[in-house]
Amino acid sequence: MAGVSSESLSTALGQLEPTLPTASLSLAQELFSILAILDSSAGLRRSLTDPSRTGAEKSALVTALLKGKVSAEAETIVGRLAAARWSDARDLGDALETLAATVVIAVAENRSSSVSSGHSVSGLSALTTLENELFSFNQAVESSHEVQHALVEQQASESAKADLALKLVPGASQESQVLIRQAVVNPRGLKAVKLIERFANLAAARQQRWIANVTVSRPMDTAQLDRLQRGLNSLYGRELNVNVRVDPALIGGVRVQVGDEVVDASVMARLGELRRQLAG
């Protein structure tokens, strides 16, 4: 996906982000169900990506199609997608698939599971678990020609394929199960393992939001590292995994990268508070 479609997807992901802290698997399943409707009708896809129609007209078409059949949240998400511009009719479905998978991944990220120590699993740990489960599924499929054949057998029902797929990863989380079932039941012209790779890559990208790569101009002692950790956790509102690298040539003292965001000496307002915390 490139050009105008890539821009539309980026906008859609930005619009989705504020809803992710309270997202549910039911929302993701609704979006995947709507995706199946889009994939089943080339005419509908053309209508929703027709450049001669206004965004309002395309959004109204979504409302007419989905009103009362899905949640208002799902209807809004799809309506926004339809109102955007797309270079190719398939790009709309690809974008919806990405949003649905992102919701699933966010649910895993938000989930805290109690463990014997009494602590909870962090978002980073949950995402790592999800990614590992997806890779375990792919390894199981790729190690068996019989399984590969069974998952594409045209005479087999969707439920039979899904049941077989989930048996390959016993104990997998609900989020992994939703993504695996989607990849097996509706791979959209791909092999299931290829779609799972896409989902795993989305999870890996989201993991970067929990990792702070920090470059400092001189080594830090334990107390400074502790203040750095607390300052970054407060700044980003979550428990980050902090990796520190020393670069004497660094100008400004501290450079922080969390995901795609880079905070350096050019952002004085945000770094000022962090430096004060480091100074104690």
For residue 276, which amino acid is it? R
Q: Cβ of 230: how many Cβ atoms within 10 Å? A: 12
The verdict on residue 158 lying in a domain is: yes
* pLDDT score of 39: 95
The verdict on residue 89 lying in a domain is: yes
Counted residue by residue, the chain has a size of: 280
From residue 68, how far is each of 36, 76, 150 by CA, in Å? 18, 12, 37
Q: Where are the alpha helices (DSSP H) in the chain?
A: 3-16, 25-39, 42-48, 55-66, 72-83, 89-110, 123-142, 145-152, 158-167, 174-185, 192-207, 222-236, 268-279
pTM above 0.85? no
* pLDDT score of 124: 81
Domain limit, last residue, from 190, 207, 224: 207
* pLDDT score of 278: 67
Contact indicator for 106, 20 with CB cutoff of 8 Å: yes
The verdict on residue 115 lying in a domain is: no
Range of 38's domain?
A: 3-110
The verdict on residue 55 lying in a domain is: yes
Domain shared by 7 and 83, yes or no: yes
Domain shared by 261 and 165, yes or no: no
Residue 89, token pair as written in the block:
């009719």
The verdict on residue 154 lying in a domain is: yes
Contact indicator for 176, 200 with CB cutoff of 8 Å: no
Contact indicator for 163, 150 with CB cutoff of 8 Å: no
* pLDDT score of 112: 57
Contact indicator for 214, 253 with CB cutoff of 8 Å: no
Task: Work out how many domains the chain is built from and give that number.
Answer: 3
The verdict on residue 14 lying in a domain is: yes
For residue 59, which amino acid is it? S
Sign of CA dihedral 206, 212, 250, 270: positive
Residue 115, token pair as written in the block:
């463990």
Taking 50 as the pLDDT cut, the residues of the chain under it are 113-120, 266-269
Domain limit, last residue, from 75, 110, 145: 110
Domain limit, last residue, from 207, 236, 257: 207
